[in-house]
């Protein structure tokens, strides 16, 4: 079976690198766009310049069969047609914790955000996320921001240009524009569903990239730290709750889409089954 073209809106620390690594095995590395490839050349390591960097024209990637990256919805929407599009969400508090400890484990000379996490405690980092615009762009309701508008957008509008209510409204609305929404908490099941839709055989072995399993979890934290995390993720938590409540509908929509493709092929029996099958799924 021919592998289908895909678009993956990769929100940081949602198990996305594992998907990209699998894509490289199936599509070939030269056919995969990932992480920061969508940006206009190598960005400066300064945090403010990275989070406000403009993306290349999405049309530059139309010939790549697998396009992924830390771009937001405004970038993604321009090349979603004719592709299987998907993203992953994650428990918002655990995502922020994972992001902090991931940055802390990296070479501080590579990016300013890595150096910053070397210098400050978790609580100090979270407080910066409420006050400093460049840090806020990385951790303040980042999942909602990416699905509402996000990085690499075409109009130069950053997260400060939107009211919080507008960000959440747009993010929830845009859930319906994707072929499928996966969750880090059900990663293997959702990964296998996505790979099957793309025409890729799921791996037998568990493949997890960029994980930091030894880090503290929310269960290990004092109430004062949890208060900061909850303040930083109130939109993300509302988005996650809404997306999780629609989890069955995402799967039904995918099945319905596959059925429509199968049933539209010329065959009298399929034609008779079409209305019956769609009626069941609805």
Rounded Cα distance between 257 and 247, Å, is 16
CA distance 281 to 140: 37
Residues 88 and 133 in one domain: yes
Angle at which helices 92-104 and 234-245 pack, to 10 degrees? 120
Assigned domain for 76 exists: yes
Cα–Cα distance between 152 and 53 in angstroms, integer?
A: 7
pLDDT at site 265: 60
In a domain, 220, yes or no: yes
- As for how many domains the chain has, the answer is 2
> What is the per-residue pLDDT across 120-176, written as a single tens digit (0 to 9) for each?
999 999 999 999 888 888 899 999 999 999 998 989 898 889 999 999 999 999 999
What CATH number does residue 26 fall under? Answer: 3.40.50.300
Q: Are residues 200 and 173 in the same domain?
A: yes
3-state secondary structure the chain: CCCCCEEEECCCCCCHHHHHHHHHHHHCHHHEECCCCCECCCCCCCHHHHHCCCECCHHHHCCCCEEEECCCHHHHHHHCCCCEEEEEECCHHHHHHHHHHHHHCCCCCCCHHHHHHHHCCHHHHHHHHHHCHHHHHHHCCHHHHHHHCCCCCCCCCCHHHCCHHHHHHHHHHHHHHCCEEEEHHHHHHHHHHHHHHHCCCCCCCCCCCCCCCCCCCHHHCCHHHHHHHHHHCHHHHHHHHHHHHCHHHHHHHHHHHHHHHHHCCCCHHHHHHHHHHHHHHC
pLDDT tens digits for range 37-63: 887 654 444 555 555 566 688 889 999
Only one residue has tokens 């996505």, namely 194
Q: Which of 50-54, 140-144, 202-206, 230-234 has the lowest mean pLDDT?
A: 50-54
Are 144 and 45 contained in the same domain?
A: yes
Report the pLDDT averaged over residues 268-278: 53
- Angle at the Cα of 269 (from 267 to 272), degrees rounded to 5? 110
Confidence of residue 13 (pLDDT cuts 50, 70, 90): very high
Could you tell me if residue 25 is inside a domain?
Answer: yes
Instruction: Based on the fold, state whether residues 147 and 254 are members of the same structural domain.
Output: no
Task: Kindly give, in sequence order, each residue whose CB lies less than 8 Å from that of residue 63, ignoring residues fewer than 6 positions away.
Answer: none
Q: What share of the chain in percent tops pLDDT 90?
A: 61
What's the domain range around 121?
Answer: 6-243
Claim to verify: residue 77 and residue 184 sit in the same structural domain: yes
Question: In this structure, are 152 and 257 located in the same domain?
Answer: no
In a domain, 46, yes or no: yes
Q: Are residues 261 and 175 in the same domain?
A: no
Residue 40 falls inside a structural domain: yes
- At 266, the pLDDT band (50, 70, 90 cuts) reads low
Q: Does residue 278 sit in the same domain as residue 203?
A: no
What is the C-alpha separation between 27 and 191, in angstroms, rounded?
A: 16
Residue % of the chain over a pLDDT of 70? 82
Residue 1 lies in a domain: no
Do 54 and 191 fall within a single domain?
yes
Q: Are residues 239 and 268 in the same domain?
A: no
So what's the pLDDT on residue 154?
87
For residues 10 and 137, membership in a common domain is answered with yes
Is-contact 83 7, C-beta < 8 A? yes
pLDDT at 31: 95
Q: Write down the pTM of the prediction.
A: 0.85
Distance from C-alpha of 66 to C-alpha of 31, rounded to nearest angstrom? 6
pLDDT in tens, 79-127: 999 899 999 999 999 999 999 999 999 999 888 899 999 999 999 999 9
251 and 139 assigned to the same domain: no
Q: What is the mean pLDDT of residues 247-252?
A: 83
């Amino acid at each position: 079976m021919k592998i289908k073209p895909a678009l993956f809106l990769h929100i940081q620390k949602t198990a996305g690198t594992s998907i990209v690594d699998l894509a490289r095995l199936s599509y070939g590395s030269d056919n995969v766009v990932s992480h920061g490839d969508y940006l206009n050349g190598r960005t400066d390591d300064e945090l403010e310049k990275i989070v406000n960097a403009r993306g290349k024209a999405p049309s530059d990637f139309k010939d790549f069969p697998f396009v992924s990256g830390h771009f937001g919805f405004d970038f993604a929407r321009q090349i979603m047609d004719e592709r299987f599009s998907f993203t992953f969400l994650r428990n918002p508090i655990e995502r922020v914790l994972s992001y902090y400890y991931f940055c802390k484990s990296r070479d501080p000379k590579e990016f300013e955000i890595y150096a910053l996490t070397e210098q400050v405690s978790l609580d100090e980092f979270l407080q910066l996320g409420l006050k400093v615009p460049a840090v806020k762009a990385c951790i303040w309701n980042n999942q909602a921001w990416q699905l509402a508008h996000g990085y690499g957008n075409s109009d130069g509008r950053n997260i400060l240009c939107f009211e919080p209510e507008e960000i959440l409204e747009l993010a929830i609305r845009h859930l319906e524009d994707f072929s499928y929404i996966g969750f880090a908490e059900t990663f293997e099941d959702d990964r296998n569903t996505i790979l099957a839709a793309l025409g890729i055989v799921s791996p037998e072995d568990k493949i997890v990239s960029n994980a930091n399993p030894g880090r503290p979890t929310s269960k290990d934290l004092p109430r004062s730290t949890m208060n900061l995390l909850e303040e930083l993720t109130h939109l993300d938590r509302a988005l996650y709750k809404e997306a999780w409540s629609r989890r069955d509908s995402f799967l039904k929509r995918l099945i319905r889409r596959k059925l429509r493709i199968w049933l539209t092929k010329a065959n009298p029996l399929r034609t008779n089954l079409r209305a019956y099958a769609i009626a069941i799924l609805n």
